[in-house]
Structure 1
Amino acid sequence: MSSAAAPSGTGPQTVVVFSHRAEVRDAVRTAVGSSPAGDVGPVRWVECSSGAEVVAAVDAGGVDLCVLDGEAQPTGGMGIARQLKHEVADCPPVLVLIARQADRWLAHWSMAEATLTHPVDPLVAPGVVAELLRARAARPVVPGRVG
């Protein structure tokens, strides 16, 4: 697992974006852009269309943030988030895309650090992503720590 997000100027932040629908992945990438904030550096997007791809990307290491579609089929982002949080030492932060604000309790159950609603708001999304990347960079690494 990556030890922390790269500080500004040292390289791109790796962000996994997951949905079974390409248009949702594209909407996230478009809303956040290639650099959500000047102090977190550029973003390198890794697109995943299945839960297995997300797990493989996180297991391979170097992921700084996961953006998971809670409405994805057949496996939703909330289930994947909960699996990652229970199984991956030093799991990257997770942002779950939800259909309604009323679904925030499910995202909380999934152990996600943040949520965004569909459609993804380009005025809100970069700030949420930047905040999660900053928190990842500031978090001390504890070997063997889960979640």
Structure 2
Amino acid sequence: MSPDAAPATVLVFSQRAEVRAAVRTALGRSPAPDVGPLTYVECATGDEVVAAVDRGGIDLCLLDGEAQPTGGMGIARQLKYEIADCPALVVLIARQADRWLAHWSLADGTLAYPVDPLVAADVVAGLLRERLAQRPAVRR
């Protein structure tokens, strides 16, 4: 990680703690030399996700499409319609055939579960670069 790497806050949503842990492990502290360190916010319910995004400061959400009772795809669609400055959204899908549903949800990207660390780093770093480039410049 370079000293100029941009810090980012990533929300990880699943009602299953093992899914949240697998996502954090796959991404690690920094998905790319120019992105990170990552700070994680974990949510186990849809209401927690909406409240965290409403508070602001979230750069990217990783949403479990298989979560119950409210899945990540429904939450993604809700966030896109309700949040003016919506963070980047990635939906975890169990089957590649579910990509069309993730597209319907207006997600910015998808990751297959179980999460491949190389693919996850590439997808997340790309979306975070776009998101962080839109931030106002910070004076030092």
Does the TM-score normalized on the shorter chain lie above 0.5?
Answer: yes
Task: Please tell me the root mean square deviation across aligned C-alpha atoms, in Å.
Answer: 1.5
Q: What is the number of residues matched between the two proteins?
A: 134
Q: Give me the whole-angstrom Cα distance separating, in 2, the residues matched to 1:48 and 1:37.
A: 24
Q: Can you give the 5+ residue segments of structure 2 that lack an aligned partner in the other structure?
A: none
How has the CA–CA distance of structure 1 residues 140 and 9 changed in structure 2, closer, same or farther, with 3 Å as cutoff?
closer
Deviations 1:59-118 (A, max 9, x none): 000100000000000000000000000000110010000011110000000000000011
Aligned to 2:82: 87
Q: Does residue 118 of the first structure (1) align with residue 109 of the second (2)?
A: no
More helix by percentage: 2
If the length of structure 2 is used for normalisation, what is the TM-score?
Answer: 0.91
Is contact 1:28–1:120 with CA below 8 Å preserved after alignment? yes
Report the alpha carbon displacement of residue 140 of structure 1 after superposing the two structures with TM.
Answer: 6.9
4+ long deviations beyond 3 Å: 8-11
Q: Can you give the 5+ residue segments of structure 1 that lack an aligned partner in the other structure?
A: 1-7, 142-147
Is contact 1:70–1:98 with CA below 8 Å preserved after alignment? yes
The percentage of counterpart residues that share the same residue type is 72
Q: Which has the higher contact order (CA 8 A, sep 6+)?
A: 1
SS at match of 2:117: coil
SS at match of 2:110: strand
Report the alpha carbon displacement of residue 122 of structure 1 after superposing the two structures with TM.
Answer: 1.1
Q: Does residue 64 of the first structure (1) align with residue 53 of the second (2)?
A: no
Query: Map of 1:2-17 to 2, 5 A cutoff?
Result: 9=4, 12-17=7-12
More strand by percentage: 2
If the length of structure 1 is used for normalisation, what is the TM-score?
Answer: 0.87
Aligned to 2:92: 97
Q: Give me the whole-angstrom Cα distance separating, in 2, the residues matched to 1:57 and 1:85.
A: 14
How has the CA–CA distance of structure 1 residues 114 and 11 changed in structure 2, closer, same or farther, with 3 Å as cutoff?
closer
Quick one: which amino acid aligns to residue 101 of structure 1?
Answer: Q
